[in-house]
Amino acid sequence: MNTVALTARIAEASPLRYTPAGIPALNLVLEHESEVEEAGVKRQVKLTVRAVAFGALAESSARLELGKLQLFNGFLINARTSKSIVFHIQEITQI
């Protein structure tokens, strides 16, 4: 199963673009910060992840406020041009 739920803030948003097929696409950089317990020890977690939204979600996401905490749901894939991971967003919930 490849399902991701992440609370994060939009740190960067590129201008809305369109794929060769005419589908709206929006590239984002998300930042997450939390505290988790691992092996009985509390740990501070910080991460930055590249993300993308397509279609109507991309159009509505282009109007979201930078820096506001949101819940992002989607899945992970390898980027076409590198071995890095890209989070494909399927749903965004205001927190």
**20-42 pLDDT tens trace:** 999 999 999 999 999 999 999 99
- Domain 4-94 CATH assignment equals 2.40.50.140: yes
Beta bridge partners of residue 78, listed in sequence order: 85
- Supply the pTM of this predicted model: 0.91
**Is pLDDT at 5 greater than 90 in this prediction?**
yes
**Tell me, what's the pLDDT at 80?**
79
Residue 66 — pLDDT band, cuts 50, 70, 90?
very high
Domain boundaries, the chain: 4-94
Question: What Rg, from alpha-carbon coordinates, does the chain have?
Answer: 14
Question: How far is the C-alpha of 55 from the C-alpha of 44, rounded, in Å?
Answer: 34
